[in-house]
């Protein structure tokens, strides 16, 4: 017997709610810290958003309760991010947007990068790079850069190559001193 009926609107609504909840759980933010910074009216509003049927009685019961003492069945339904007073500064937002543009440009130019980003998004349950948190975007850019560098044909110079380069530069500088005695590089 199949419990989930894809034609049942109630089942689809429950599935969507569970998917939203799962995405929220993947994101990291400090719920207790936000709860402690909230005012009583904000706490009541958040609690009532969890279950409108219980309304004010429900909110009155848990408004003064520490976040970790509220039953999980309630806390799992409340998204406190909108009550967070901590907002990212403008400069970090601009940096994050520039990383998003950089990632999107690499995806357009390189099929391997597109596959890598798609695999990364699949692991985070996000559909687009813009859906990631700023920390995830930084992590993705770093890993994408490492991935693309691993595919390149770059070979690090040997110690002999480095020494030869130093000798060549020393010869160029000495010849320049001879050719231009009035000009000092020191």
Each domain of the chain, given as residue ranges in start order, spans 9-83, 90-151
| pLDDT higher at 18 or 90 | 18
Residue 1 has pLDDT above 60, yes or no: no
Task: Tell me the per-residue pLDDT of 37-59, one tens digit each, with 9 for 90 and over.
Answer: 888 888 888 887 776 555 566 67
Spatial distance between the Cα atoms of 22 and 16, rounded to a whole number of angstroms: 10
Q: Which of 16-25, 92-101, 164-173 has the highest mean pLDDT?
A: 164-173
Q: In angstroms, what CA-CA distances link 122 with 12, 117, 127, 150, 166?
A: 22, 9, 8, 22, 47
The answer, as to whether pTM is greater than 0.95, is no
Cα of 104 vs its chain's centroid, Å:
15
Task: Tell me the per-residue pLDDT of 56-77, one tens digit each, with 9 for 90 and over.
Answer: 666 777 788 887 788 777 777 7
């Amino acid at each position: 017997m199949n419990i989930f009926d894809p034609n049942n609107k109630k089942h689809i609504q429950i599935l969507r709610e569970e998917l939203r909840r799962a995405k929220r759980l993947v994101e990291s933010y400090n719920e207790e810290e936000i709860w402690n910074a909230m005012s009583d009216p904000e706490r009541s509003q958040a609690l009532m958003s969890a279950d409108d049927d219980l309304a004010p009685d429900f909110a009155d019961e848990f408004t003064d309760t520490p976040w970790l003492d509220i039953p999980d069945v309630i806390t799992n339904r409340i998204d406190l991010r909108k009550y967070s007073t901590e907002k990212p500064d403008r400069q970090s937002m601009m940096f994050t947007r520039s990383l998003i543009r950089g990632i999107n440009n690499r995806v357009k130019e390189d099929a391997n990068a597109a596959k890598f980003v798609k695999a990364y998004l699949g692991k985070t349950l996000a559909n687009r790079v813009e859906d990631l948190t700023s920390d995830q975007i930084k992590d993705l850019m770093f890993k994408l850069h490492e991935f693309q560098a691993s595919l390149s044909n770059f070979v690090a110079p040997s110690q002999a190559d480095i020494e030869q380069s130093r000798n060549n530069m020393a010869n160029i500088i000495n010849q320049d001193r001879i050719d231009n005695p009035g000009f000092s590089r020191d």
